[in-house]
Amino acid sequence: MSACVKVMVLVTIALALVTGCAGTTPPPTPVSPSATPIPLNATSAPPTSTVPRAAILATKPTLAPTATPTPTATTRPTNTPTPTGTLPASRMPGQVLHKNSFESGISQWQQRVGTLNHTTSEYHTAPGAAKMTTAKPDGFGGYSGTSGHCIDLGGELEIRPGAGGQKRVTFEVYLKTAESIMATNLGVYFHTAQGCKGTFTTDTSPAGIGKGQDWTLVSTAGAIPDTTKSIDIVVHAMGMNNSAAVYIDDVQVYVSGATQSAVKP
């Protein structure tokens, strides 16, 4: 077989294959029975609601208006009054037994240890005060000073009622001390005889100031025994030498709760 014949045979076979393929109809594509055919003129727009617009608006929930809070009235804070402190017993009403501001001298007071003089260079209330200076008494190891005043009561206790029948005496005084004073103390002694004689007792708390103190109110008080006939009020001091000074002024002694006033010399 010549080459031309081979070519012709191959061409003939190729034409036959092409013709057979073109005449063959492909099998139909199966369609799911649940699929709904889409019309050719269909669009992607969602179906239009048949509910009237007025009905839709009528069913829309309406938001309730937010209530405006009613302002609460602010109450102006009331100033709390500063509590008034209870007056010390020495300032409460009572029958005065003794008062002395040493205006003109120290005649009502007596020196017991050391020296006692009138001075106008130092005072709490013008024009003067008493000045007590310590000394070293015989047989005593330190420097001290003691001055006081004896108050005879007589029968006066019966007209000075106290709470529950108890009678109390208050002794107050202003003191000023030099740097050389070590300590001071007030004393109240209840004697069973007039003139501050006989046996005595004391029922007062210690009260005093130390060295280098300016004018200071010092006070002590105690219950008066029923057997008391006289009261001795005393200022004690301890010093570093024989020139340590204590200044005394504005003395007052009285029985608290008294209904009648009297001044004793």
Closest by Cα among 238, 178, 172, 171 to 214: 178
Name residue 115's beta-bridge partners.
Answer: 133
Determine the pLDDT at residue 56: 40
What Cα–Cα distance (Å) separates residue 31 from each residue in 18, 37, 38?
30, 10, 13
Mean pLDDT, rounded, of the chain: 72
The token pair at 120 is 């106008």
* All residues at 6 or more sequence positions from 58 whose CB lies less than 8 Å from its CB, including other chains: none
User: 10: helix, coil or strand?
Assistant: helix
Query: Quick one: three-class SS letters along 73-87?
Result: CCCCCCCCCCCCCCC
* All residues at 6 or more sequence positions from 122 whose CB lies less than 8 Å from its CB, including other chains: 129, 131, 176, 247
The type of residue at 37 is P
Q: Is the pLDDT of residue 50 over 90?
A: no
pLDDT tens-digit series, residues 94-153: 678 889 999 989 988 999 999 999 999 999 999 999 999 999 876 677 899 999 999 988
Q: For 24-28, 87-91, 93-97, 172-176, which range has the lowest pLDDT when averaged over its residues?
A: 87-91
Residues 247, 122 contacting (CB under 8 angstroms): yes
DSSP secondary structure letters along 189-212: EEEEETTTEEEEE---------TT
Residues 133, 111 contacting (CB under 8 angstroms): no
DSSP secondary structure letters along 33-53: TTPPPPPTT--SPPPPP-S-H
- 140 CB-side CA count, 13 A: 15
Q: Give the chain's domains with CATH numbers.
A: 95-256 (2.60.120.260)
Name residue 132's beta-bridge partners.
Answer: 116, 246
User: Which whole number is the average pLDDT over 243-263?
Assistant: 75
- Threshold 0.85, pTM exceeds: no
Where do we find the tokens 């002395």? 100
